Chains A and B, each alone.
Chain A
């Protein structure tokens, strides 16, 4: 009786799956039944959130240290491979399930307003429900392969939703790119699974993590290979260097999709994976250092690009890549709770930023639509002064901006500081972390700057939207601003989840996650900093954030900005950043096009068509035909010719015998 809510854990993913099936059927046969679609789509998420909350409450009451595993059916029982379709629930899955269903429900609700005019409304909700189902499989799966079902499943939904407006090739291309780049990462995930199975004979989390210490020599080659390959998967899914290039393009999808999939949930899957496999990463210092280093580098690198983007969503996309870098810096440092903490707060404020940008884009879009203008509704150069038209959105987005910049007492301040503090602490033992820490601080400065830039250009200064268009600008309906309000409150207060002990807080999330990370924490004890250093770091971080904001306010001149169609092209370093360091062009030149050329010109046209099929296959056919022709020529039917041949033959034979 006591575990009744947990017995119903399967309902959490099953509800969105049912939503997908129903909405999918509606999309094919009754695409205009929008009321039913919204009810099913949002209802499935609200119920899933309720079920997840009940499960978490039940779980908290049990004071369970070990994960609870629920086995449903045998999936692939082959020889010594015992693989079940099983879910598991522990402190980490609890956090993830709440974020996914909670933020997911808010974004579903927002979508009701945002997508209401769209012809593909039912299809949209079907995909969105399917996404939540797979995301829940990802965070609730009890083994690597079940998690992989979710892992690739969310990639599929991302693909479908990026290319949601598929009749424009740029959208369809972006979806395809996301899928293929993710598959590169997934191949790493697969090979890591094979290595793990070869070494431990298991793929379920419990036995793998239980045996890891006995099977893998610490800092050995195998465990390092496992962690690096897993991290390749993370780099694909969570858009880290070198596989991040798909995420900015993913902004082609509807904006709520960017908020849910490409900011709040799916892209954090890699962080979840590292946190989930904390035992494995703790065994490999090199693997952990790679995670932290790539994370720090990505945080800084993506932030530089965000400085010069004009598309409001692209700024947020690079910001997401950068913030994901922070999370990897956290989990790579061994501060798993800090990484997850930032994952949660980021889900709040980044979802808010994306949804807020959605309100802005929709307002501009309506205005342009009303006046038949073809200006870009996402270019910040066409915005400005919008706080007068969208006061709620502006206020709430400022909250999120201060949160991401790290201004106390907003949520981002606490989570970012926890990561940077942990990195600095580890640096006292392993000096390379000083570099990571410094990159993190530099990225924090840039974050404060580019976010302030976004806000200034969007909401402040003169309105650069045309005269006629202005009359059509208005705040979004309540079904959209309502979710924004909730996310605003969460962005404000999210820090309460994990108030540091330094400030007299209880570090709730940290202690909540302790059962999950206990083993890793013992293997890799956290370095304690003195209170003075901690306070110094804190004040330094606040100073950096303030500097970034202040610098943006002083340096940027929204009043001097020209609308996009009048703006001069970028030059110098600005151009380099605007062009995203030309990384896409580089990949295209050294990987994509050479591979296409190899496949088309060498493998297909030369080897397959000319060599194998042409020379060998058809060549031997021609040769045998030639022989046949020769044979038929010999049969002339003239006796004299035969006699000549006969004589020649005899002479040759005799000649041979005589010699």
Chain B
């Protein structure tokens, strides 16, 4: 019963709850949304145990949706999507709780959109039908557009439209590619089907057209990641979005890009994705992301922009790990995806809490806060350290595995990427210093309130994960290993140099 329906429940429940939130009185909205999202999390938790690491794609449900066009409602979960689902359901309640004071207008709409967004995100991660995937991709796009555009900062409209056009451009390309792909496969099999499994099994050799199809998928996902040079929507979107929007955007939405690489772009077109020239280009872009993102983050006056550029760097590690195609690097990439969600999510919460107190995101507006708000300073320190990958925090586990694995395939690239750990210290520590250390020279900061119990409730689960994953990531690694292995094996024949180890 649980096994068959849990994924569907996870998609449907938030959308239903959104309807309830819309119909309820305004002042109940946030409490209802929090309860709904917490139930969502509670429903998802047993997946941790129900999931069979060696079981491949599981908890599947496949029912015809538009049979004439070969469209099914097909969902399932493997060791790659499992953690994306859990990350989503874990962070949504925290985001809602973190919005309690931030969102003061049109609360019903805001919380309803957050819930619809949740449905879309889960849908993206569990969809095993290309059409369903495309629909879910757009379902999550629209609420985020409104969240940025309605509840965002001063320049919110520009940021929201930029976010929308960018992502929508990518998704249109993807739609064309999906349709072409289904058509090509149908020509071979005689059956029109959007089924992921069907496409995977019958894709065969596509010839030159594979290059263009890969290009379309790649572009859609690379924008989402975002990879350099498709990243400039991100700083704007992050800066303007309300805290919850920034958190979800960074923690979950960006991962859809790298998830798309793992699920679609690389397995569908391994000959293209792992063609030496393509490989070289993508690895180079990921290195640019790591170093360039870090260096640009270093000179940002706005804390949120700094975090946004740091995301470009972190996601660079993920892309490098995927393309290096060793077991360590791919699992490392998955760990970075999780860890970036936790650490960067926590950073956005913390900056949001500063903003709620001072209405400024500028680093120079602060200084000496450790004297005034020691608890806040302690949490910010721990989270920053995890973000720069201090060993025994979660950040280290992911980056270490990516680099260790990538070094086997691309020693030079991995060595260059390793300098990213220096750059990380160079962008985050000075910011940390200018916020919590240095003289307390601005009178407005002298009486800030330290973290409230509600804020602690948002942050402590994240801090706990930082330590847990840093010290004992084995339960995560064990659950993802067979799926990572399968991913590598499915594309390995196309990769002459990259022997999976």
* A interface list, Cβ under 8 A from B: 27-28, 73-81, 85, 145, 148-149, 151-153, 156, 159, 163, 166-169, 172-173, 175-176, 179-180, 183-184, 186-187, 190-191, 193-195, 197-198, 595-596, 598-600, 603-604, 607-608, 612-613, 616-617, 621
Is the beta-carbon distance between B232 and A74 smaller than 8 angstroms? no
Residues from chain A with Cβ under 8 Å of B299 in the complex: 596, 599-600, 604
Within 8 A of A (CB), among B340-386: 368, 370-371, 374-375, 378, 385
Contacts A77-B474, A153-B392, A604-B296 known; list 4 others, CB within 8 Å. Answer: A28-B375, A79-B485, A198-B407, A612-B231
Complex alpha-carbon distance, A74 and B231, angstroms: 37
B391 closest partner in A (C-beta): A149
Is the beta-carbon distance between B422 and A78 smaller than 8 angstroms? no
A146 closest partner in B (C-beta): B391
Residues from chain A with Cβ under 8 Å of B422 in the complex: 180, 183-184, 186-187
Complex alpha-carbon distance, A608 and B236, angstroms: 12
Is the beta-carbon distance between B407 and A75 smaller than 8 angstroms? no
Residues from chain B with Cβ under 8 Å of A197 in the complex: 404, 407
| B172 interfacial contact with A, CB 8 Å | no
Residues from chain A with Cβ under 8 Å of B401 in the complex: 76, 78, 81
Residues from chain A with Cβ under 8 Å of B404 in the complex: 81, 193-194, 197
Residues from chain B with Cβ under 8 Å of A76 in the complex: 397, 400-401, 473-474, 477
Complex alpha-carbon distance, A190 and B389, angstroms: 12
With most chain A CB atoms within 10 A of its CB, the pick from B422, B472, B485 is B422
Is the beta-carbon distance between B425 and A75 smaller than 8 angstroms? no
| B58 interfacial contact with A, CB 8 Å | no
| B180 interfacial contact with A, CB 8 Å | no
Is the beta-carbon distance between A190 and B421 smaller than 8 angstroms? yes
Looking at chain A's contact residues, the main secondary structure is helix
B320 to chain A, nearest CB (A): 13
Is the beta-carbon distance between B473 and A194 smaller than 8 angstroms? no
Residues from chain A with Cβ under 8 Å of B368 in the complex: 166-167
Of the four ranges (under 10, 10 to 19, 20 to 34, 35 or more), the interface on chain B belongs to 35 or more
Complex alpha-carbon distance, A163 and B439, angstroms: 12
Within 8 A of A (CB), among B400-449: 400-401, 403-405, 407-408, 411, 414-415, 418-419, 421-422, 425-426, 429-430, 433, 436-440
Is the beta-carbon distance between B425 and A167 smaller than 8 angstroms? no
Residues from chain A with Cβ under 8 Å of B296 in the complex: 599, 603-604, 608
Is the beta-carbon distance between A198 and B408 smaller than 8 angstroms? yes
B275 to chain A, nearest CB (A): 24
Complex alpha-carbon distance, A433 and B429, angstroms: 41
Is the beta-carbon distance between A166 and B403 smaller than 8 angstroms? no
Complex alpha-carbon distance, A308 and B375, angstroms: 43
Q: CB < 8 Å: which of A80, A149, A176, A191 contacts B418?
A: A191
Is the beta-carbon distance between A85 and B438 smaller than 8 angstroms? no
Is the beta-carbon distance between A79 and B327 smaller than 8 angstroms? yes
Looking at chain B's contact residues, the main secondary structure is helix
Contact A613/B438 with A28-B374, A79-B328, A195-B407 known, Cβ cut-off 8 Å: no
B385 to chain A, nearest CB (A): 7
How many cross-chain pairs have Cβ atoms below 8 Å apart between A and B?
148
A548 to chain B, nearest CB (A): 39
Q: CB < 8 Å: which of B411, B474, B478, B485 contacts A198?
A: B411
B380 to chain A, nearest CB (A): 13
Residues from chain A with Cβ under 8 Å of B82 in the complex: none
| B295 interfacial contact with A, CB 8 Å | yes
29 A–B contacts, CB within 8 A, in A order: A27-B374, A28-B374, A28-B375, A28-B378, A74-B474, A76-B401, A78-B331, A78-B477, A79-B327, A81-B404, A152-B390, A152-B391, A166-B368, A166-B433, A166-B438, A167-B368, A169-B438, A172-B438, A175-B433, A180-B425, A190-B400, A191-B407, A194-B415, A197-B404, A595-B295, A599-B299, A616-B229, A617-B162, A617-B233
B240 to chain A, nearest CB (A): 15
Complex alpha-carbon distance, A595 and B472, angstroms: 37
Complex alpha-carbon distance, A149 and B470, angstroms: 10
B429 closest partner in A (C-beta): A176
Is the beta-carbon distance between A186 and B421 smaller than 8 angstroms? yes
Residues from chain B with Cβ under 8 Å of A85 in the complex: 471
Within 8 A of A (CB), among B446-498: 471-474, 477-478, 481, 485
A85 to chain B, nearest CB (A): 7
Complex alpha-carbon distance, A80 and B326, angstroms: 11
A624 closest partner in B (C-beta): B165
B204 to chain A, nearest CB (A): 30
B435 to chain A, nearest CB (A): 11
Residues from chain B with Cβ under 8 Å of A198 in the complex: 407-408, 411
| B501 interfacial contact with A, CB 8 Å | yes
Complex alpha-carbon distance, A156 and B403, angstroms: 22
With most chain B CB atoms within 10 A of its CB, the pick from A79, A195, A595 is A79
Is the beta-carbon distance between A163 and B391 smaller than 8 angstroms? no
| B292 interfacial contact with A, CB 8 Å | yes
Q: CB < 8 Å: which of A73, A167, A194 contacts B407?
A: A194
| B337 interfacial contact with A, CB 8 Å | no
Residues from chain B with Cβ under 8 Å of A604 in the complex: 296, 299-300
Is the beta-carbon distance between A153 and B232 smaller than 8 angstroms? no
A73 to chain B, nearest CB (A): 6
Residues from chain B with Cβ under 8 Å of A613 in the complex: 232
Contact A187/B419 with A28-B374, A194-B407, A603-B292 known, Cβ cut-off 8 Å: yes
A170 to chain B, nearest CB (A): 10
Complex alpha-carbon distance, A387 and B211, angstroms: 82
A619 to chain B, nearest CB (A): 12
Residues from chain A with Cβ under 8 Å of B174 in the complex: none
Contact A149/B477 with A76-B401, A180-B426, A612-B232 known, Cβ cut-off 8 Å: no
A198 to chain B, nearest CB (A): 6
Is the beta-carbon distance between A194 and B414 smaller than 8 angstroms? yes
Ranked nearest first, the 8 interchain pairs of A and B with the lowest CB-CB distance are A79-B327, A194-B407, A166-B437, A172-B437, A613-B232, A599-B295, A600-B299, A149-B391
| B298 interfacial contact with A, CB 8 Å | yes
Residues from chain B with Cβ under 8 Å of A169 in the complex: 437-439
Residues from chain B with Cβ under 8 Å of A159 in the complex: 429
Is the beta-carbon distance between B429 and A180 smaller than 8 angstroms? yes
A29 closest partner in B (C-beta): B375
B297 closest partner in A (C-beta): A599
Residues from chain B with Cβ under 8 Å of A184 in the complex: 422
Is the beta-carbon distance between A75 and B328 smaller than 8 angstroms? no
B309 to chain A, nearest CB (A): 9
B392 closest partner in A (C-beta): A149
Residues from chain A with Cβ under 8 Å of B292 in the complex: 603, 607
Contact A78/B232 with A166-B438, A172-B437, A184-B422 known, Cβ cut-off 8 Å: no
Is the beta-carbon distance between B433 and A176 smaller than 8 angstroms? yes
Contact A167/B433 with A77-B478, A81-B404 known, Cβ cut-off 8 Å: no
Residues from chain A with Cβ under 8 Å of B439 in the complex: 167-169
Complex alpha-carbon distance, A145 and B421, angstroms: 15
Complex alpha-carbon distance, A478 and B425, angstroms: 41
Contact A79/B501 with A153-B391, A194-B407, A612-B229 known, Cβ cut-off 8 Å: yes
Complex alpha-carbon distance, A27 and B391, angstroms: 24
B218 to chain A, nearest CB (A): 18
B410 to chain A, nearest CB (A): 11
Complex alpha-carbon distance, A73 and B429, angstroms: 31
Is the beta-carbon distance between B477 and A190 smaller than 8 angstroms? no
B368 to chain A, nearest CB (A): 6
Is the beta-carbon distance between B429 and A167 smaller than 8 angstroms? no
A166 closest partner in B (C-beta): B437
Complex alpha-carbon distance, A616 and B300, angstroms: 21
Is the beta-carbon distance between A148 and B371 smaller than 8 angstroms? no
Complex alpha-carbon distance, A613 and B231, angstroms: 9
A123 to chain B, nearest CB (A): 8
Complex alpha-carbon distance, A168 and B433, angstroms: 11
B206 to chain A, nearest CB (A): 30
B116 to chain A, nearest CB (A): 28
Residues from chain A with Cβ under 8 Å of B440 in the complex: 167
B414 closest partner in A (C-beta): A194
A17 to chain B, nearest CB (A): 11
With most chain A CB atoms within 10 A of its CB, the pick from B404, B408, B440 is B404
